[in-house]
Amino acid sequence: MTVDVQKSLLGYIYTLLTADATLITACGGTCRLYPVWAEPDAAFPYLVDRIDFTGWVNEYSPIRNGKYLIDLWSYSANADSILAIRIEVLRLLNGLTFSTAEVDNARLWLQTDGFIPESTQGIWHYTLQFNIWALADDNGQPLHDDF
């Protein structure tokens, strides 16, 4: 089976975040989520995400370990708006278990988060790092060749 597992996982998360009414409100009416890099001159606030897979639980395991990283960007006089976005992202993602057509089971849980200092006054940058694992499909086929 040849699939793009990362694309599948990121697509699920994209739909979840960009369709959530509370997160949309926290983002000022539109939740902009970009893969890896934002568009040049993207309107604030916006989010950027990626998955970095780091290895297998063991050489016989169908479970792939990794990190899901999401960066929140905002431009405002204080950190209130970015912290409101953070609360909603945590509500939606921390402890999330889900499946896609390509992954029988995936799970996210928060590992660490915090502010990233920016040199431009009024730009707020906050990052969240989640652990992620993805399990083989129902046929027990490991996803080794799919990542």
Please write down the HEC assignment for all residues of 11-51: HHHHHHHHCCHHHHHHCCCCCCEEECCCCCCCCCCEEEEEE
**CATH number, position 77:** 3.30.2000.10
Residue 66, domain member (yes or no): yes
- pLDDT tens for 97-115 read 999 888 888 999 999 999 9
pLDDT value of position 3: 43
Cβ partners under 8 Å of residue 87, min gap 6: 26
- How far is it, in rounded angstroms, from Cα 31 to Cα 23? 7
Residue 90, domain member (yes or no): yes
pLDDT value of position 6: 86
Q: How many domains are there within the chain? A: 1
pLDDT value of position 54: 78
Domain holding 85, by residue range, is 5-139
pLDDT value of position 59: 67
Is the pLDDT reported for residue 34 higher than 70?
yes
When the pLDDT of each residue in the chain is averaged and rounded to a whole number, the result is: 88
